Structure 1
Amino acid sequence: MSEGHSLPQYSRAIVREIPDSIRDHSEAFKWKKRREKDMIDLGKAREDHARYTQTLRDLGLDVTVLPADESTPDCPFVEDTCVVVGNRALVTRPVDKTRRKEVDCVEKLLKDSGLEVHRIRDKGATLEGGDVIFTGKEFFVGDSTQSNKAGRKILAETFPDYPVTSIPVEPPEFHLKGVVCCAGPGVIAVGNHKSGRKAWEIIRKSSSCTYEALWVPDYLGLNCIHVNGTVIHCRAEDWPNSCKAFADKLPEHKRIELTVGELTKVDAGLSCCSVLF
């Protein structure tokens, strides 16, 4: 752990149930061909999701489970709907028009929870939570197909106490958290590939803080969540080398190996399926 770094402490989480429509109409199919062998088994997906939800509860979080909405196939990926730091939340504006319908119920829940809630109204702005990394000291935000300059500007205005640094994200990756991810206080999990190395150079050169890199060898083993001193990351049975990288770099942290299972077929990662605050 790097000295002087700390991450927010969480007491609550939001997750959302899986609609049947995700099987055929996920946004992920814009990026890749839908093959029969990759079709989601909805029953198994819901078992995986229930396991994920219970893991958050086991870590002491009060988890609110929102109902699925068949008109929004990707609604389980609630991370994209908002950014929350402390008692302030920014409700985002996803790039896909269908996904914009997801934010209303999340906004209501955040308001009912007593948070100071802001919302992106600028029709030229897009921002998704999967592009936003908060290190406790600053934001790194993807300049991606999903989040643009106007969206990043509104984020900076909503959280003026924290610097915002842009990091390019190139297709087929569509979110920054598929390239780099906050693994612990002062520790950034970085994909050991061209995109990851480019992102790390920007982080290293642009920030006044010092971070340590946790180099992750497997592209799909990178995404992780840090919950009050516990790191939730990939399973050894899926990505043994990446799992070992987490164990070696974070020996003093409690670690939980987990997968979102079937939802990986539509490019989901661990962080996609929850909002922590």
Structure 2
Amino acid sequence: MAEGHSLPQYSRAIVREVPDSIRDNSEAFKWKKRRSKDIIDLCKAREDHERYTQALRDLGLEVTVLPADEATPDCPFVEDTCVVVGNRALVTRPADKARRKEVDCVDKLLTDLGLEVNRIKDKGATLEGGDVIFTGKEFFVGDSTQSNKAGRKILAETFPDYPVFSIPVEPPEFHLKGLVCCAGPGIIAVGNHKAGRRAWEVSNREDRIYLQIIRESSEHTYESLWVPDYDGLNCIHVNGTVIHCREDEWPNSYKTFAEKLMGFGRVELSVGELKKVDAGLSCCSVLF
């Protein structure tokens, strides 16, 4: 644990079931060519999702499972629909029109649970939870194809006690958590590849210098955890336990988590079939 850092303690989680429509209509197919090996086995996907849900329950969280909606193929990626800190929530506005239908039931659930719920209504603003990292002290937010300056401004207005800093995310990556993740209090998992190093250090783009906030502009010091596999770095920290990749899928990344995070509990987990539509561990839940 990096000195002086702490993360929120979670008691609840939201997940959402897998619809049939994700097999053919996920937004992921906008970003990559769909191949026969990308066809999702829906039965396996639901078994994988149930194991994921049970892992959250096993860590003591009360998990609300929202039903699937065939009209919103990517609805299992509930992380994108809101940002929650303490008793306050911001319901987001996803960049893709098809995904904006996902937020209504999440808005209702958070309201029914008694949270103070705010919602992005500015039609020029976009923000997705996959672009938002909360370290307990501040927000790092992706400046990406999915989240823009107006969305970050509303996030800052909703949570005025915490600074909000932007980090450029360049295609084909579409969310910040595909490049860096909060692995523990003051510990940032970083992809040990060009895009991940850019998110940690300083990069040039179109003759402008982007000081990457994690190292250069934050008042706080973070410890880096360099993870070798592009798809192995996404992780979740839950009350002293790190949920991270499985050894059989990403052995080198698994070894990094096992050796460098010995002070925490660890749970090996996979999103399984949902990897075929670019899902990561953090995508499939909202914790608060």
Q: Please, which runs of 5 or more residues in structure 2 have no aligned partner?
A: 202-211
| Equivalent AA in structure 2 for residue 155 of structure 1 | L
Aligned length in residues: 277
Q: Secondary structure at the match of 1:219?
A: coil
TM-superposed deviation, 1:220: 0.3
Aligned twin of 1:110: 110
1:210 equivalent to 2:229? Answer no
| Equivalent AA in structure 2 for residue 38 of structure 1 | D
The RMSD of aligned alpha carbons is 0.5
Aligned twin of 1:146: 146
Q: Any residues of structure 2 matched to 1:83-232 within 5 Å, and which? A: 83-201=83-201, 202=212, 203-232=214-243
1:258 equivalent to 2:269? Answer yes
Aligned twin of 1:55: 55
Aligned twin of 1:75: 75
Q: 1: distance between equivalents of 2:277 and 2:98?
A: 16
Aligned twin of 2:8: 8
1:25-65, CA deviations, whole angstroms, 9 ceiling, x for partnerless residues?
A: 00000001111121000000000000000000000000000
Aligned twin of 2:282: 271
Aligned twin of 2:206: none
| Equivalent AA in structure 2 for residue 43 of structure 1 | C
Q: Secondary structure at the match of 1:18?
A: coil
Q: Secondary structure at the match of 1:13?
A: strand
Q: 2: distance between equivalents of 1:7 and 1:63?
A: 19
| Equivalent AA in structure 1 for residue 240 of structure 2 | G
Structure 1's consecutive aligned runs of 4 or more residues displaced over 4 angstroms after TM superposition are none
* TM-score using structure 2 length: 0.96
| Equivalent AA in structure 2 for residue 62 of structure 1 | E
Q: 1: distance between equivalents of 2:284 and 2:37?
A: 23
Q: 2: distance between equivalents of 1:10 and 1:112?
A: 18
Aligned twin of 2:204: none
1:202-251, CA deviations, whole angstroms, 9 ceiling, x for partnerless residues?
A: 11001100000000000000100000000000011011110111111111
| Equivalent AA in structure 1 for residue 149 of structure 2 | K
Q: Secondary structure at the match of 1:53?
A: helix
Q: Secondary structure at the match of 1:98?
A: helix
Q: 2: distance between equivalents of 1:26 and 1:206?
A: 36
Q: 2: distance between equivalents of 1:234 and 1:37?
A: 21
* TM-score using structure 1 length: 0.99
Q: 2: distance between equivalents of 1:248 and 1:140?
A: 26
1:138-185, CA deviations, whole angstroms, 9 ceiling, x for partnerless residues?
A: 000000000000000000000011011100001111000000000000
Q: 2: distance between equivalents of 1:244 and 1:217?
A: 10
